C-alpha cells in the first residue's frame, strides 16, 4: 500500500515534542530525528522517533544512499583503518 511519510530533523538543544498536533494528525507516518535524542512525550502510533546512536550503523549499512562525498570519506576511513594508520 502507498501512504504518506513526513520527516522532521532538529539539532542542538531544540526538542521534538512527539505529541505535537502536526505529527499526530498527519495522515501517514512521521519519522523524527533529534541529534541529541531530545524527545518529549509519548509518540502516537504514526510517530517514529529515531535514536541518534543508530545513525552511524544505518549509514554504513546503506552507504549507497549516502552522498558521494560521504562515500569517499568512508572509503578513506576504511583504507586507513585496514592499513592500521588509524584505529577505532
Q: Model pTM greater than 0.85?
A: no
pLDDT digits (tens, 9 = 90+) for 24-37: 999 999 999 999 99
Task: Assign 2 a pLDDT band (cuts: 50, 70, 90).
Answer: low
Q: How many CB atoms sit inside 10 A of residue 46's CB?
A: 18
User: What b/e string do you get for 17-39 counting C-beta neighbours within 10 Å, with b at 16 or more?
Assistant: ebebeebeebeeebebbbeeeeb
**Helix (H), strand (E) counts: the chain:** 3, 5
pLDDT digits (tens, 9 = 90+) for 42-81: 999 999 999 999 988 988 899 999 999 999 999 998 888 8
Amino acid at each position: 500500500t502507498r501512504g504518506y511519510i513526513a520527516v522532521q530533523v532538529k539539532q542542538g538543544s531544540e526538542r521534538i515534542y512527539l505529541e505535537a498536533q502536526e505529527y499526530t494528525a498527519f495522515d501517514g507516518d512521521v519519522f523524527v530525528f533529534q541529534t541529541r535524542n531530545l524527545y518529549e512525550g509519548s509518540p502516537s502510533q504514526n510517530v517514529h522517533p529515531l535514536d541518534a546512536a543508530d545513525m552511524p550503523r544505518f549509514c554504513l549499512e546503506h552507504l549507497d544512499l549516502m552522498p558521494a562525498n560521504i562515500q569517499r570519506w568512508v572509503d578513506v576511513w576504511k583504507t586507513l583503518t585496514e592499513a592500521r594508520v588509524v584505529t577505532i
